[in-house]
Chains A and B, each alone.
Chain A
Amino acid sequence: MVAIVNGRERPLAAGVTIADLLAELALGGRRVAVELNRDIVPKSEYASRPIRDGDRIEVVQFVGGG
């Protein structure tokens, strides 16, 4: 299946969760926030929220700004 992660198509194995995706991106334990189809996913649900084909995911972090 394919999900859209930060605007780019990303092939993912079936049954993958948000936690799996973050681990794959080496972001496990980092201070990030995640939206799944425009809904914020609480950290407590990362491991239980499955990603489905066509889902749009945003992974954001803090960067320099004024």
Chain B
Amino acid sequence: MRVRNDPFVLAGREYGSRLIVGTGKYKDFEETRRAIEASGAEIVTVALRRVNITDRSQENLLDYVDPKQYTILPNTAGCYTAEEAVRTARLAREAGVGTLVKLEVIGDPKTLFPDVPATLEAARVLVKEGFSVLPYITDDPIACKRLEEIGCPAVMPLAAPIGSGLGIRNPYNLQIILEQSQVPVIVDAGVGTASDAAVALELGCDAVLMNTAIAGAKDPILMAEAMRQAVEAGRKAFLAGRIPKKLYATASSPTEQMIE
């Protein structure tokens, strides 16, 4: 059962799913399509690259992921400067899937951590140009605050390095970001398995974005379904309100009327 009246609102649009999925690393486009379907995601990230003009037999991703059915979220993955990221975002918009962009300005190839100053710089330019900028950012409350001030309609702190599968490494930073943010907080990167996604939602994060955790699983379709359920379970647990943690036991069965 879906929780009623609990839409995920992002950049003025309502979504039923709080899972955003990537389209990279799949065996083929058919597997991509099936995994997205199993995940229940309504927002799907894509990258922008040169058309291979020597091999024109290649199929097109958007033949399998219909932009009429899904919100397409182009990324600026692989960009190491604000200028490159801005250029990529502009091209993505021109390719005709709207003004949403997942802004990534990478600072280092080994960790793929964001270059925070360059991300802020690119966000400023793109927000001014009318983009809805969803920034991939360190789990740094100050950086998130600055991005919100710039006008980003959500912030997307990482939980662990991209593709690492290490899970939610710093729930306390996420908690601070959640407390201070007036915009949705989307955990982007680091999820390894279903429980990680559940933890993100249980903390109160509005959504979670993942790619490798699904695409890299032995059975991506089954993992996509697991992620859908984990995100739903995590959200419900958050709304339900968990019990406080205590050091000692409290009996669940009556302690009176015991047999003597």
Contact = CB atoms under 8 A, between A and B. Distances in A.
Interface of A: 5-8, 10, 25-27, 30-35, 38, 40, 42-43, 58-66
B72 A25 contact: no
A52 B209 CA distance: 43
A25 B51 contact: yes
A39 to B, nearest CB: 10
Given A60-B49, A64-B32, A66-B211, A31 B91 contact: no
Contacts of B212: 66
Contact of A63 (B53, B61, B91): B61
Question: In this complex, which of A7, A30, A66 has the most chain B Cβ atoms within 10 angstroms of its Cβ?
Answer: A66
Contacts, number: 105
Given A6-B50, A60-B50, A62-B61, A33 B92 contact: yes
Interface residues of B, number: 40
A58 B50 contact: yes
A35 B95 CA distance: 11
Interface core residue of B50, B54, B74 (most chain A CB under 10 Å) = B50
B56 to A, nearest CB: 5
A57 to B, nearest CB: 10
A65 B50 contact: no
A25 to B, nearest CB: 6
Given A33-B95, A35-B91, A60 B51 contact: yes
B137 interface: no
Contacts of A60: 48-51, 91, 95
